Amino acid sequence: MTFPEADIFLKSGDCAGQTMLDTMEAPGHSRQLLLQLNNQRTKGFLCDVIIVVQNALFRAHKNVLAASSAYLKSLVVHDNLLNLDHDMVSPAVFRLVLDFIYTGRLADGAEAAAASVAPGAEPSLGAVLAAASYLQIPDLVALCKKRLKRHGKYCHLRGGGGGGGGYAPYGRPGRGLRAATPVIQACYSSPAGPPPPPAAEPPSGPEAAVNTHCAELYASGPGPAAALCAPERRCSPLCGLDLSKKSPPGSAPPERPPGERELPPRPDSPPSAGPAAYKEPPLALPPLFQKLEEAVPPPDPFRGGGGSPGPEPPGRPDGPSLLYRWMKHEPGLGSYGDELGRERGSPGERCEERGGDPAASPGGPPLGLGPPPRYPGSLDGPGAGGDGDDYKSSSEETGSSEDPSPPGGHLEGYPCPHLAYGEPESFGDNLYVCIPCGKGFPSSEQLNAHVEAHVEEEEALYGRAEAAEVAAGAAGLGPPFGGGGDKVAGAPGSLGELLRPYRCASCDKSYKDPATLRQHEKTHWLTRPYPCTICGKKFTQRGTMTRHMRSHLGLKPFACDACGMRFTRQYRLTEHMRIHSGEKPYECQVCGGKFAQQRNLISHMKMHAVGGAAGAASALAGLGGLPGVPGPDGKGKLDFPEGVFAVARLTAEQLSLKQQDKAAAAELLAQTTHFLHDPKVALESLYPLAKFTAELGLSPDKAAEVLSQGAHLAAGPDGRTIDRFSPT
């Protein structure tokens, strides 16, 4: 094989100083170099790019890829993680391609070998040729054509299946090809492929330990690789992982046409058949993965051992399943969604999704003691069988999930939103019912419009601020006065309850939907369910963990067009772009200073608050206290009550958070009310002030004090309004 750019180098000798170069050229140098590179690749040494092909991951060197393929070159420039269109190249084919890139050889028995590498993919020379064309590797294209021509017509030889559907067809490690491809995950590449031979038993012992890099990399023990994979798809824990979020221009693989998807799972797939079984010798792990291997992931209660041929110790999940759960499926690889869907489809998951947390399994930890050791109905359960064939359609799922008593039951002490709100009375066709007034509507839109009317009504009655607070949920702020019986958001039948009916049993925060509530409830767990498999740090949300993983992998998919700087999050990029645009939307209400980033404004406001309550109060006093009056430095225009409140809030928050002086914080808030001369302004400000006072954890007395001190200022014509804000 010749590399295009290497050619340039080698041929340069023809141009000038050829004699010199000829005499200096070490024979076999390029071959030695390739051998070294390939050796490094097999060990993951200095590999700086991961190529995702359907459900397999390959590690490689950017330079080598770039030197071999114009297409790959365009990709590796931008990303460390490449997603290849598996319609164009299957994992098995890419393995051959990668081997070719690194060795210049196309395995002699490639056809036969590949045919059984991945049942279903059955790569032929034609497939390799297509992939080579797609990847723009002219040498491989030529080689394939040559070989096809020699054979006259390609006739793939189905391999013997070599033990467990493994990679046996590669047979003897011919010329370094055998162990050449350091695929991180090996699994059957296509659900459409024939299932592994019936006799295929999950490998155990040494075989299992070496059968996949995946297992080597992520399994903490010699567990069957099948356990790592979703049924049928034999999915990898990393398969389809898309941490890149975004492909560079021109690098995005062609997306599937809408509606197109991979073939459905084979119903006859043996539940626990065929582990992903590349029979490659164990390879040295790169440091990162050695670390992965060493790290024993903490128990993941959400682990589903799909396809696991045998029971696994509860609470001792393998790494792969952890990874599997945090992987993201790229839209372009749409079929991966099936896996997620299947995962969701597990009864246990459905239970969990519905708020019936599996933690409630008998003997499970009570509230606050963390999630359960495992799904009661997880994929490795008897019924699930592991092949996912019990995956229900959404409707079926809905139907099954209506079961108010999922296997896991509900956490004691946890409200079950499903039970509480999921079974309304019969309202005929008007299934969308307004709780406060009992009116039924045929559509959610109409109900929403109706609710809007309620909001406006509340606005008219109680003032915009309060209504807005209620409408916005004022989530989790709980009772403003700590009374416990005056919960704005949750009073039975109140608008607050209507809008945010799902309340946390631990902290009284309320949410619009049960999923958010469940998400929130995890923040109360002592055990965080999503551990980072690299550093072990645990997270309450999977998304946070995946984001965290991106930082480990150095994946920064969001690039600034102006300066090229890259970010891990879109929001960061948006924030960053303000530097280029000069936009500074965040203005200090005290001094008028403007900031491009809100966090810097906050930091700045804390600077204003230095000195504690007294300092802030004096600062407030020095502002004149009148709306629209320029600040002391004349720079900014004070916007009351927002300005006052902002400073007071920040100061109080600072005090409270530092636990320095909650009383001082309350005092400051109380003082703030003196600036609210306008009854209307006071009206709009008192409640949030008092609420915030309570939010800070201050005593109800202090909150009441805030109100009382401001109430006389806000003695507007609507006495009822003041009553509304008074503690009861």
Partner DNA sequence: CTGGGGACGGGGCCC
Partner DNA sequence: TGGGCCCCGTCCCCA
541 contributes a contact to DNA by CB under 7 A: yes
Q: What are phi and psi of 58, to 5 degrees?
A: -125, 140
The window from 96-104, 130-138, 321-329, 428-436 that contacts DNA (CB under 7 A) reads 321-329
Please measure the distance between the N-terminal and C-terminal CA atoms of the chain and give it in whole angstroms. Answer: 84
Tokens of 23: 């005499």
The CB-of-509 to DNA minimum distance in angstroms stands at 5
The window from 47-55, 273-281, 440-448, 504-512 that contacts DNA (CB under 7 A) reads 504-512
Rounded Cα distance between 190 and 120, Å, is 5
The window from 8-16, 204-212, 514-522, 617-625 that contacts DNA (CB under 7 A) reads 514-522
Binding pattern to DNA, positions 606-635, x when CB under 7 A?
A: -x--x-------------------------
Rounded Cα distance between 277 and 578, Å, is 50
Strand partners, 312: none
The window from 52-60, 85-93, 137-145, 595-603 that contacts DNA (CB under 7 A) reads 595-603
Residues 230-289 touching DNA, rule: CB under 7 A, are 242, 245
Candidate list 597, 699, 708, 726; residue touching DNA; CB under 7 A: 597
Nearer Cβ to DNA, position 104 or 299? 299
Candidate list 20, 296, 621, 657; residue touching DNA; CB under 7 A: 657
Residues 408-427 touching DNA, rule: CB under 7 A, are none
- 668: DSSP letter: H
Of 323, 312, 239, 329, whose CA–CA distance to 288 is shortest?
323
Rounded Cα distance between 384 and 350, Å, is 13
Nearer Cβ to DNA, position 232 or 705? 232
- What DSSP assignment string belongs to 19-79? HHHHHHPPTTHHHHHHHHHHHHHHHTTT--EEEEETTEEEEE-HHHHHHH-HHHHHHHTT-
Nearer Cβ to DNA, position 40 or 546? 546
Candidate list 209, 252, 340, 505; residue touching DNA; CB under 7 A: 340
Of 668, 672, 725, 726, whose CA–CA distance to 696 is shortest?
668
Q: Tokens 């608050």, residue? A: 609
146 contributes a contact to DNA by CB under 7 A: no
In single-letter form, the type of residue at position 481 comes to: F
The CB-of-600 to DNA minimum distance in angstroms stands at 5
547 contributes a contact to DNA by CB under 7 A: yes
Strands (E), 403-505: 432-433, 440-441, 502-503
260 CB neighbour count, 10 Å cutoff: 10
Nearer Cβ to DNA, position 100 or 375? 375
Rounded Cα distance between 41 and 368, Å, is 46
565 contributes a contact to DNA by CB under 7 A: yes
Please give the helix or strand (H or E) that residue 566 lies within, else none. Answer: strand 566-567
Q: How far is CA 29 from the centre of its chain?
A: 45
539 contributes a contact to DNA by CB under 7 A: yes
Nearer Cβ to DNA, position 1 or 650? 650
Nearer Cβ to DNA, position 286 or 531? 531
473 contributes a contact to DNA by CB under 7 A: yes
The total number of residues written for the chain in this structure: 728
Strands 81-84 and 49-53: parallel
Of 243, 331, 327, whose CA–CA distance to 554 is shortest?
243
Candidate list 88, 192, 602, 663; residue touching DNA; CB under 7 A: 602
Helix (H, G, I), strand (E, B) or coil at 685: helix
Reply yes or no: is the peptide bond before residue 123 cis, omega within 30 of 0. no
80 contributes a contact to DNA by CB under 7 A: no
484 contributes a contact to DNA by CB under 7 A: no
Rounded Cα distance between 490 and 420, Å, is 14
Q: What are phi and psi of 432, to 5 degrees?
A: -100, 105
Candidate list 604, 662, 691, 702; residue touching DNA; CB under 7 A: 604
Candidate list 348, 514, 593, 710; residue touching DNA; CB under 7 A: 593
The CB-of-716 to DNA minimum distance in angstroms stands at 30
Tokens of 567: 């970010």
Rounded Cα distance between 710 and 505, Å, is 33
Rounded Cα distance between 704 and 430, Å, is 43
The CB-of-535 to DNA minimum distance in angstroms stands at 8
599 contributes a contact to DNA by CB under 7 A: yes
Of 665, 368, 666, 409, whose CA–CA distance to 507 is shortest?
368
Candidate list 542, 637, 674, 677; residue touching DNA; CB under 7 A: 542
Nearer Cβ to DNA, position 109 or 615? 615
Candidate list 178, 392, 576, 662; residue touching DNA; CB under 7 A: 576
In single-letter form, the type of residue at position 421 comes to: Y
The CB-of-155 to DNA minimum distance in angstroms stands at 41
Q: Tokens 């109905």, residue? A: 377
Binding pattern to DNA, positions 33-52, x when CB under 7 A?
A: --------------------
Candidate list 441, 595, 675, 687; residue touching DNA; CB under 7 A: 595
The CB-of-308 to DNA minimum distance in angstroms stands at 19
Footprint of DNA (CB under 7 A): 242, 245, 325, 328-329, 340, 343, 473, 475-476, 500, 509, 511-512, 515-516, 519-520, 523, 537, 539-544, 546-548, 551, 556, 565, 567-572, 574-576, 579, 593, 595-600, 602-604, 607, 610, 653, 657
